[in-house]
Amino acid sequence: MPLTTLDPNTALVVVDLQHGVLGMSTQPYDTREVLARSVELAEAFRARGLPVVLVRVSFAPDGADAPPGRTDAGPAAARPAGWDVLAEEIAGRPGEHPDDIVVTKRNWGAFHGTDLDVHLRRRGVTQVVVTGIATAMGVESTARAAHEHGYHVTLPVDAMADGDPERHRNSVERVFPRLAETGTTADVLALLAQRDTRGTGGTGGAA
């Protein structure tokens, strides 16, 4: 179904657009497309004083803070230096976007074990727009948790991608409609423009 509305205090949550992730091969959109659309949304949110949350995943060099538990995938491979640095296109230069919220996670989702929920509630946020990589991992896990925390969730599905096109399709077609409204980057930008026409602005700013 089409997107219906954006609440007065809606935040953009951008998941894992960092050097080590942007080097992946993804479908149905290239990582640079996902980054470009997320940047477009971030600029639109910042211009209106709405919160922008940049989520990164990082672990200690020895992996001691990685999620425990045995999996079929086995232990993660060693990560090169700088793999967890956010892309400059979205983060800007140091100090360029002082009101952005940066959240470092150790799991797929951005809520568990972080202060994301505190940041959002302090700013009166009631809705989140989630973008990033990978669709069926970081994005879906964050969207599920946002829904469970009581936020309205909006998912511009052309601003996310996955290493496996079937995983992406499953999330978009089967999972997301049960917990969010889905649309496109253009749909979200159009809703922001409608808010401008109505004179509805965000509060933004750091807590």
Query: pLDDT 10s per residue in the chain (207 long)?
Result: 679 999 999 999 999 999 999 999 999 999 999 999 999 999 999 999 999 999 999 976 656 566 777 777 665 666 767 789 999 999 999 999 999 999 999 999 999 999 999 999 999 999 999 999 999 999 999 999 999 999 999 999 999 999 999 999 999 999 999 999 999 999 999 999 998 887 755 554 443
- Is 3:187 a contact under the CB 8 Å cutoff? yes
Q: Does the pTM of the predicted model rise above 0.75?
A: yes
CATH topology of domain 15-60+83-197: Rossmann fold (3.40.50)
Q: From CA 27, how far away is CA 90, in angstroms rounded?
A: 20
Per domain, the residue ranges of the chain are 15-60+83-197
Give the three-class secondary structure for 1. coil
Q: Give the up-direction half-sphere exposure of residue 24: CA atoms within 13 A in the CB hemisphere.
A: 25
